[in-house]
Amino acid sequence: MNERTCIVTRQAGEPEGLLRFVAGPDMSVVPDLKRQLPGRGCWVTADRLHVDEAARKNLFSRAFKTKVTLPADLGAMVDGLLVRSALGSLGLARKAGQVALGAAKVEGAVRSGKAVLVLHAAEASPDGVRKIEQARRAVVYQEGPSIPAYNLFSEAEMGLALGGANVIHAAVLAGDTGKAVLKRMVALDRYRGGSPEDRIVVAATGDHDDAAEDME
């Protein structure tokens, strides 16, 4: 796919770094995370700040060149869709046997190089997180891969996706299913502004008068 232009920043980018939106039959704005819905779409940089900005300034109507209606909270709606996608892929990884649960097994998966990512529930204790973080740093020190860690879900959300109670720490293992999970976790993390250690500071954007090149 060719580069697309964000209707907020007016900057072109690859589709992976943008979110696609289409106008539904009732002329409501619909997020198209899989970029498969029919019709012409417009694009927004894939983070909450820019989605909220596009909604606040009514840039969707300008981009579609017709009046469209927005959900009550489009930004929250997109977040929910990304969460559902990420947790769904996590559940598939569990069924494929590509998830390790529990602090000890997660630490082992990290140190062995089998983990492609680590998840900590919001309720995780600092001590439990610290031990796994030490394992991640040790792997990098030994010139192994840098394994990302995310804190995106509650214990309840992780438990529901992984079919267990008290799920605090999880590691997703290498494999095709694991790669799919990583892609979705990266997308959700980016939408929420990035992890604390690698947060991307998004520059403030100004108003833009034209909507040229917003469309496919």
Q: What is the DSSP letter of 212?
A: T
Asked whether residue 136 is domain-assigned, the answer is yes
Asked whether residue 205 is domain-assigned, the answer is no
Residue with tokens 């990290």: 110
Q: What's the structural domain count of the chain?
A: 2
Residue with tokens 């489009």: 74
Domain limits at 158?
84-198
Whether the pLDDT of residue 196 is over 60: the answer is: no
**pLDDT, tens digit, 9 for 90 and up, residues 7-43:** 999 999 888 899 999 999 999 999 999 999 998 899 9
pLDDT band per the 50, 70, 90 thresholds, residue 47: very high
Whether the pLDDT of residue 209 is over 50: the answer is: no
Asked whether residue 168 is domain-assigned, the answer is yes
Entry pTM: 0.86
Same domain, yes or no: 62 and 102: no
Separation of alpha carbons 75 and 205, rounded Å: 17
Asked whether residue 43 is domain-assigned, the answer is yes
Range with the lowest mean pLDDT among 27-31, 126-130, 205-209?
205-209
Same domain, yes or no: 59 and 93: no
* CATH number of the domain where residue 14 is located: 3.30.1230.10
Give the pLDDT confidence score for residue 39 in this predicted structure. 83
172 close to 96: Cβ distance less than 8 angstroms: no
Long-range contacts of the stretch 107-115 (C-beta < 8 A, 24+): 107/131, 107/132, 107/135, 109/171, 109/173, 110/135, 110/136, 110/139, 110/147, 110/171, 111/135, 111/138, 111/139, 113/139, 113/144, 113/145, 114/171, 114/173, 114/174, 115/147, 115/171, 115/172, 115/173, 115/174
Over range 155-179, report the average pLDDT: 92
Asked whether residue 78 is domain-assigned, the answer is no
**Structure tokens, 65:** 């060149």
Give the pLDDT confidence score for residue 83 in this predicted structure. 97
